[in-house]
Structure 1
């Protein structure tokens, strides 16, 4: 549930037997990635400018601008746009917002902070966007924060996790108050939820000691600081602590140390290097410890098939899964998404983008206006039931104002484990929190 991890392509063959992946072509998987390159399609829904439009006559449509990386090929960006599309379609089927059609215009950030800014300006100045949603990378979000302030237009982030944005809201509220984070939880709270997961689940999973591993990218800095200050309080033994270099593609030396120190699990925070870390855990022979944490590629619904079962028994977290029932809206959204996009399932950015558009629509209905000043106040006071949980924002006096609230006693996030069903299919089974669990933790049989 973090903000990095663009993958596309198809892996070569492998098999799973008795829970142990064999013959995984590691070189082929790492070279091609794991996301698939299915093109985004708005067939039958696009206007001449590339926008999704309704059919009401009268007032001009309310325009939603969505910013996402490479929506034609990146599963994170694709799900972000598709989630927004589902929300817009539903709004138009319900008569729009206060009788006005809603249209969606898309800006491809191309994974570039500079392109993100160019596309943001295009959506606002040329397409006339009344609100913007999306943005995946923290660097891209920070590069448009000044533009958000200048344009005084509501922006609901649905991908980037950096607390640098909310610190701007805290320090210069009148300038930056137009930024809200509909999801995911910010990078500080990502660290907190990792600690809470260990605190609740370590004993049940047989984890008495862990190796704390994190790729050395900017997005892991805040969670790492939380690990340093809070993990020891759970009572678990920290056998190894390692922020490993960016672009690491060989984990053999790291895993040798994990084994030598007798850690029961490699507790990892990874996106860029996630697939290499996974494959080196199970090949050429499975390592004698569990594996999981924040692992962005494992959030992908097709990851089991893409890695030929290599992710079986791996653990990651996400905002929701196709199996979850976080609220009454979760399965409604999943079903609509599946029906619209040929049976495919959303990743976390899809849920948050859907919620961002729907929440903005509710704020407009409540206030009866598109005036940003009034909408800021409405959003600050809202408790909105979304597809991935209750969306509420930290208040102005909080350290991270306008960020999604994290409630340790009722977390929106879920931790899932890849398991195999009776038909030999990979399933993302929820193992935490207990209130959302669809299965118990399954210990890798080779441990």
Structure 2
């Protein structure tokens, strides 16, 4: 049996490396335990280069040329959307481990028979990422002392659903939205943006950023801007990010699927430690998800006694698998988010962490918290 992995620059991109290595670790564990139904499991990793055309070509190599039984990975939404028709044509199960666009699940819902071979093992889709930000503010704004926030969202496709949810629901939490801005993609100088945040009087910048995250947090810290900083900040999720920013990330808050010390399930910390022992570093969120995807695929294949795609689809629709990032179940074919991982407390419910003196400390949800929130000393 064979698993195909699609990862961006897995040799030197931590996100791509985590996808490839997480899947590899799962395959190694399966083979050490007798494989799937007694058959050894092979793995083939392809580099998407975060480019839609390259991603499609690599997907075709895995499915058409190599005939893998399942594919996983794909970090960028643009790559995922560019292979959706190929997934439908090849009728090979794909379990996304990175891209958040809800357009993929919308296609499953609108044309189930064609697109039913796509499942999103994680992260939660971008609408639910936004909802999780709202849920965090509703639960923790009092503890954090955030009476007002300035919403800053980078202008990329992945954030459009996040912005929509924040616009619809954030104001209902009782926290004042002092300003809201989708700033230009590729922004490097955050001085003018932060001047507006200061002028708004907001207690915190509530952010959704990935591509522009590093200059944003470094300038916030180096300029000691008088507001707090948190939300979804993808680079901040990297376990090595404190060193990479020379500590500038200290006191920053981000959503995450898991951290090496967070006991999301009883599998989370052992996986992180095994990953570190094998590869010399800890995984980012895509590593947890890719690892879970391979193990859930194997569990379903064993249960249904087949790797035929239609059998696997039926099996996954009924599956409830506890992995490293939560208990993974999928919305049904009639749901607007068909075949996306279910966002729900007790199933998959992202954490929020704060960098404190080089450590990723969980501050939400309360039952997983490893530390109390710390206000930056200059605020």
Q: With structure 1 as the length reference, what TM-score do the two structures score? A: 0.84
1:305 and 2:243 correspond: yes
CA contact under 8 A between 1:196 and 1:408: conserved in structure 2? no
Shift of 1:412: 2.6
Among 234, 244, 252, which residue is 1:314 paired with?
Answer: 252
Aligned pairs for 1:41-440 (under 5 A) are 62-283=1-222, 285-342=223-280, 344-408=281-345, 411-420=348-357, 426-440=358-372
Q: Distance in 2 between matches of 1:253 and 1:107?
A: 41
Q: Distance in 1 between matches of 2:16 and 2:193?
A: 31
Which secondary structure state, in structure 2, belongs to the residue aligned with residue 328 of structure 1? coil
What's the C-alpha RMSD, in Å, of the aligned pairs? 0.9
CA contact under 8 A between 1:380 and 1:395: conserved in structure 2? yes
Which secondary structure state, in structure 1, belongs to the residue aligned with residue 122 of structure 2? coil
Q: Distance in 2 between matches of 1:124 and 1:102?
A: 16
CA contact under 8 A between 1:326 and 1:412: conserved in structure 2? no
Q: Distance in 2 between matches of 1:335 and 1:308?
A: 24
Q: Distance in 2 between matches of 1:110 and 1:215?
A: 21
Unaligned runs of 5+ in 1: 1-61, 421-425
Shift of 1:408: 4.5
Q: Distance in 2 between matches of 1:332 and 1:322?
A: 9
Shift of 1:409: 6.5
- Decide which structure has the larger Cα Rg and report it: 1
Q: Distance in 2 between matches of 1:292 and 1:435?
A: 20
Which secondary structure state, in structure 2, belongs to the residue aligned with residue 298 of structure 1? helix
Which secondary structure state, in structure 2, belongs to the residue aligned with residue 197 of structure 1? helix
Q: Distance in 2 between matches of 1:191 and 1:136?
A: 18
Unaligned runs of 5+ in 2: none
Which secondary structure state, in structure 1, belongs to the residue aligned with residue 354 of structure 2? strand
Q: Distance in 1 between matches of 2:142 and 2:219?
A: 25
Which secondary structure state, in structure 2, belongs to the residue aligned with residue 116 of structure 1? helix
Q: With structure 2 as the length reference, what TM-score do the two structures score? A: 0.99
Shift of 1:205: 0.5
Aligned pair count? 379
Higher helix proportion (structure 1 or 2): 2
